[in-house]
Amino acid sequence: MQRFQLHIYTTTLVAGGVLIGGPTAYSLISGEWSLPLLIRTIGGCGLMLAAVDTLLRTDPDEFSIPPTGLVLLVGAVCLCGLGTVLFVISGG
């Protein structure tokens, strides 16, 4: 069960990083520069790197996260996804 939780945890962090940093990285690449865009891109990349680091350095049999924490993390990333969809639809 811990291995499954570790994979859900790291996958959720990667998804959050992509949802936060993806659209802003595209804006930076297309030439639109601002401090908030740069900070969101760095933050999204940081989340993805943290997930990879956690996956590589953590023993799956020793990983532990409370079920409520995992549910809250998944819920927060779902809200990030909704926000990203609304951001892209609105032309931001």
pLDDT in tens, 29-59: 888 888 888 888 899 999 999 999 998 999 8
Using CA atoms, how far residue 2 sits from 18, 49, 61, 66, in Å, is 24, 21, 6, 11
pLDDT in tens, 56-69: 999 888 888 898 99
**How far apart are alpha carbons 36 and 39 in whole angstroms?**
5
% of the chain with per-residue pLDDT over 90: 40
Question: What's residue 3's pLDDT?
Answer: 84
Please tell me the pTM assigned to this model.
0.83
